[in-house]
Chains A and B, each alone.
Chain A
Amino acid sequence: MFLDMRNITKTFDALKALDNVSLQVCESEIHGLLGENGAGKSTLMNILAGAFPPTFGEIYLNGKKQENMTTHKANELGIRFIHQELNLVNDLKVYENLFLGEELTGAFGLLNKKQMIKKSAEVFKRMNIDIDPQEKVENLDTSRKQLVEIAKALLFESKLIIMDEPTTALTNKEIENLFVIMRSLKAEGVSIIYISHKMPELFQICDRYTVLRDGKLIESGNFSDIDEKKAAELLVGRSIIEDNKQDQGLVGEVILKVESLSCGAAFTNINFQLRKGEVLAITGLHGDGRGELAEALFGARPVSEGHISVNNKPLSLNSIDKVMKAGIGMVPRNRKERSIIKDMSIMDNMSMAHFIRNKTLLIKKYEAVERYNRNKKAIAIKAGSPDDNITSLSGGNQQKVIIARWLEIDSDIYILDNPTQGIDVGAKFEIYRIIYDLAKKGKSIIVFSAEFPEIYKVADRCLVMYKGQINAELTRDEITEVNVMYYATGSNMEGIR
C-alpha cells in the first residue's frame, strides 16, 4: 500500500466536511475518487497535499506516518496536485509558470533560463503537444492552460499525482493524449488519484474507485465489478429516474431571428431561428466561438455585423438591460466567475434580475422572501435560511438559485450557457427537468453545451459550430454522438480547401 489515509475527519467551525474517511492507493494504481460536489473530495485531497491539517486521522506514505504536512513538504515527498481551477500566472511565460517557486538556478543564484526552457520543451514533447515554452500564458486558450497545469506535475519526479477534473476543458484528442501519459506514468510506478464527473473516462482509465457522499466514505472497490449505472447510484445515494426528452411535435411560431451575426474573429455569419416552445442546443468543440455567441446574443459582447429580432422587432444589442426588457434571460457559464455574487445572501442573489426589471427604488423584503419560498419549492433548492450566504450552498443548488434569478423575470427566451457545468448528476437531471417544464410552458430555450448526453436529453434541434461558424443543423432524429462529432471536428470540410 503506497498511500494510506486512515479515519480522516475534518471540521470547519461546526461543519463536518469529512467524517471518518479512509483512502488507500497502491503503487502504480489509478484511483478514481467519486462524489458529488460538496462530498468532500477536494477537502480530502487538500489534506493530502498539505493545504490544511486534518482534525483527526493519520496519513501513511509507504507505511511511514506523515505529520505536520505542508504543501512544500508534500511536493518534496513527490505528491503533486493538479488543481481544477487554473493556478497559472497569466502575465508570465509558460516555462516561468512551470518552474514557479522551484526555479532552476545556476552560478550566483541566477536563473538558468536555458535549462528551464529545455526541460519545459521536453515535457511538452513527452505529452505530445506543441506549446512554446516561451509563449505568454495569457495567449493560451483554456484547454492549453489546462495542459500546462498538467505539465507542471510531470516536470518533477513524482510518486503520486492528484488530478482534480483535469479534462473539463480538453478536447477528446487531448484527453486521449492525457490517458496515454497517465498509462506510461502508471507503468513507471506512479500512483494517480483521478477526480472526475465523467463516468466513461473513469471507467476507461481507472483501476479502483472510492465514493464519498456528504463527507462520508460510501464504498471502495474495483471498477471492473460495477457498471456506470451502479456508480451513478452510489454517487447520489438513490436510483436515478431518467426523464427523456418527449417529442412534443408542436413548436410554435418563430420568436427569435438571428441574421448574419458576426463578431470579429470569434464567429462569423451566424443565421438561425428559434421557435416558441423549442429547445435549441448549440454545440461544438473548444474554440468554436460558442461562448462568444452566447454573450453576444445577450448584449454582453459587441458584434461587428448582423442583427437580431425578437417577435419581429429588431433588438438593439448594446445594452444588457434592453435585451432583458425584450424578454431574454441568460444563465452564464462559469458560475463562480459570472453568476454568483459571493458576499450576498441566497435571497439577494435570487432577486437580482428582478430588481433590474422592476424599476422601483426600494427593496420590498416581504416580496423577496415570497420569491425565495416560491422558487425553493418550485425547483427544489436545498437551502436553510434565505439570509444564508450563497456560498454556503452546494454547486448544484447555487446553480438553481441562479436559474431562479432568471425565472423570476419571466423571459420568453432563455439562454443557458453550459448550465450544468461542475454540478453533480442528481442536480443535472433536475436542471433538465426545469428545461422541459419551461419548454412545455411555451418558453424558448437555447442551451450551449459540449456534453453530448446533455444535448441528447434536452434538444429539439441542434446547431453544431466549427471555427466560428454554424457547420450543421441537426434535427431531433439526426442528433447522434457520431453526427455531432463529425460536424464539430469539421470532418465534412476535409478536401474542400
Chain B
Amino acid sequence: MTLVMRRLERLIGFVLLVGVLLSAATVLLGGVLFLWRHGSTPVHYRIFRGEPSDLRTLLGVWGDVMKGSGRGIIQVGLILLVAVQLVRVLLTGILFLLSRDKTFVVITTVVLGLLTYALFYAGR
C-alpha cells in the first residue's frame, strides 16, 4: 500500500473520530436535559406507539431543538452520526480519486448514490 493511501486512511479515521465524538456529545447533552426534566418519570416501551410527527422529520427535529427539547437534541446527535456515514463514503471516494483508481471511484460513487437514495427516498 502506498504512503498516500495510508495517510488518507488515517485522515478518514480522524474525521470519523471527530464525527463520532461530536455525535456522542450531542446525544449526551440531549440525554442530560431530558433526564433533568423527566428523570424520575416512569418510561414505558412495551407497546409501540410511534414517535410524534415532529421527531420523524428533519424540520420537525430542528423545531424541537429551537424549543430546547432534550429529545430533539438527541435526534440531532443521531442524525449527525448518520451524516458521518455519508462523509465517510465521500472521503473514501476522494481517497480513490487521489490514488487515480478509476474502478473504485466508480464503485464508491455508486455506493454513495445508493446510500443517499435509501436514506432519503426508500419507503416513501
Our verdict on whether A and B bind, yes or no, reads: no
B interface, CB within 8 angstroms of A = none
